[in-house]
Every structure is written in structure tokens, then in C-alpha cells.
Amino acid sequence: MNIYKVCRTDHVDWEEYSGAVVVAESPERALELILYTSYATEWGVRKNEDGSYDSRVKDHVVVTDVELNTERVILTSFRDG
């Protein structure tokens, strides 16, 4: 298992997530855990008319492998009105 930082690069609206830290086996699985779970709508993922998720959101999300050999802040997220 690896630790990944998942961040949006598009406009983040009110009451939406802009980033997360995820433990997963691969970057692809980290993205799946975020986008295709109960968190989907809070990540700006919208459903298509047929019930599938809009796959274009992957164009606005970056998944980064987190190295654990140095001290660091992994993720901060501040969205205020």
C-alpha cells in the first residue's frame, strides 16, 4: 500500500473537497476511491443522464505519491466565504 495526495486543479465550489490523502495500492485506485464513492458529489463529480459518472473530472485531479522519508505537511485545504 502507498499514500497518495489527491488534489483538484479546477474551480472548487462551496461545500466541495479540494484534496485528500488516500492509502491505496496504486494512483489509479486512489482516484477511484475518491471519485466513485460516497464522496463523489463533494468532489464536483456529476452523474450523467444514464447514471454513470462524468469521467472528465479526471482531467482536473492530480494524484501524487507521498514519500515518507522526510517530515512534511501532506495536505492543507482552506475554502472560506
CB contact at 8 A, 12 and 32 = no
Instruction: Give residue-wise pLDDT tens across range 8-61.
Output: 888 877 777 788 888 899 998 888 888 777 566 666 666 677 766 666 667 777
Three-state DSSP string of 18-40? CEEEEEECCHHHHHHHHHCCCCH
pTM of this structure: 0.68
8 Å CB contact between 48 and 65: no
